[in-house]
Amino acid sequence: MCEGIELYLPEKDIIPASVISFVQSHPDASWFHLVALEKNCALLPGFSPFVICLQEKNTNVSGVICAFLIRSDEQNNLLHSISSIRIYGAPLISPRKETQEEILDKLLHGLSDFASLYTHCIEFWNDKETESLKSVFLSHGFLFSSHLNLIKSIPDKQTIWDSLSTSRRRQIRRASENGSAIREVKSSEEVVQLYHILKNLFANKIKKNIPSLETFINFYSTSKIAGQGVVLVVLIAEKVIGGIICPVLKNKIMYEWYICGQDKEYPKNFPSVMATWAGLVYAADNNIPAFNFLGLGKPETPYGVRDFKLRFSGDVVNFGRYTKTL
């Protein structure tokens, strides 16, 4: 490791208060950064968090990378079950512009040294503009690829409504007229109902695995206590037909993490549309200034999910991703 670089594994190490304070107070910190600091990262199963930080001689923290070792299976031998290292969000660096490139250079050296023990792939899924630091990433062997996202400002409910496409407003009206209702979940039993809809969607259409039911129950329980998120459902006569699971960074941003709806079974109730609308309404009602749709895919590749999300309007950004093969 470079001089001043420290490595912490939250599952076994005590992260210094100075590092936690730096992350929590940093203007670019995200929900994913904060999750990486948790002792028990149950919200992201199969992901083992670690933290790399740069501390100056006077112990001031000047940069932090909150990352995850992603397990490819459930083997107990960590060394042989890691597929990649992923960082959700850019490195958190002290705002002193004259030293940002130097700080990032040291952090990336430390990250590569640690990563070489476990995997051949490091990924940064950026959540902010990093153009000013791009040359440092490239000098460390990272490749940049475009990846779009949609971030929507949340002023008030009426302004959000007016910003929707005509078809979205029509669908929401029709869904309401046909008995659709939206609200927060009231019990873990409703989370179970939502989970079965989500699991069916991923198994039969998206063709990807999702975390276990316990993950979502844990998220529901944690969010109720700590205000770290919310689970919203779409109902007909109290029957769950869709919903959205949203982490929340209080007073800052809300994320669309998982969303689903029984659109074929209830075509006149537009459950997926109503689930997204539920998230936007919740953000407005709780003074959360922004809603992050968490991905529109690669700009050159047709993507139905992108078409769906864009009709809710917002700012399309291309923060991209950095990938390095070791």
Confidence of residue 308 (pLDDT cuts 50, 70, 90): very high
Identify whether the C-beta of residue 248 lies closer than 8 Å to the C-beta of residue 254: yes
List pLDDT tens digits, range 102-160.
999 999 999 999 998 888 899 999 999 999 999 999 999 999 999 999 999 999 999 99
> How far is it, in rounded angstroms, from Cα 65 to Cα 111?
8
3-state DSSP call for residue 66? strand
Helical (H) or strand (E) element with 308: helix 304-310
- Tell me which DSSP letter residue 296 carries: -
Q: What are the residues facing 124 on neighbouring strands?
A: 87, 322
Better-predicted residue by pLDDT, 155 or 83: 155
Query: What are the DSSP calls for 185-211, one per residue?
Result: --SHHHHHHHHHHHHHHIIIII-----
Confidence of residue 75 (pLDDT cuts 50, 70, 90): very low
Q: Which two tokens stand for residue 284?
A: 């407005």
At residue 91, the pLDDT reads: 96
Q: What share of the chain is helix, strand, coil (3-state, %, to 5)?
A: 35, 30, 35
Identify whether the C-beta of residue 276 lies closer than 8 Å to the C-beta of residue 259: yes
Residue 77 has pLDDT above 50, yes or no: no
> How far is it, in rounded angstroms, from Cα 271 to Cα 172?
9
Residue 78 has pLDDT above 60, yes or no: no
Phi/psi for 249 (5° steps) reads -100, 105
Residue 204 CB neighbour total at 10 angstroms = 8
At residue 167, the pLDDT reads: 96
> How far is it, in rounded angstroms, from Cα 72 to Cα 114?
18
Residue 323 has pLDDT above 50, yes or no: yes
At residue 76, the pLDDT reads: 45
> How far is it, in rounded angstroms, from Cα 42 to Cα 214?
9
Residue 261 has pLDDT above 50, yes or no: yes
Average pLDDT score over residue span 217-228: 83
Confidence of residue 210 (pLDDT cuts 50, 70, 90): confident
Confidence of residue 225 (pLDDT cuts 50, 70, 90): confident
Q: Which two tokens stand for residue 229?
A: 């998120």
Is the Cα dihedral 10, 88, 19, 142 positive or negative?
positive
Q: Which two tokens stand for residue 245?
A: 């699971």
- Report the candidate in 9, 13, 84, 96 with the shortest Cα–Cα distance to residue 56: 96
> How far is it, in rounded angstroms, from Cα 93 to Cα 141?
20
- Report the candidate in 209, 204, 201 with the shortest Cα–Cα distance to residue 71: 209
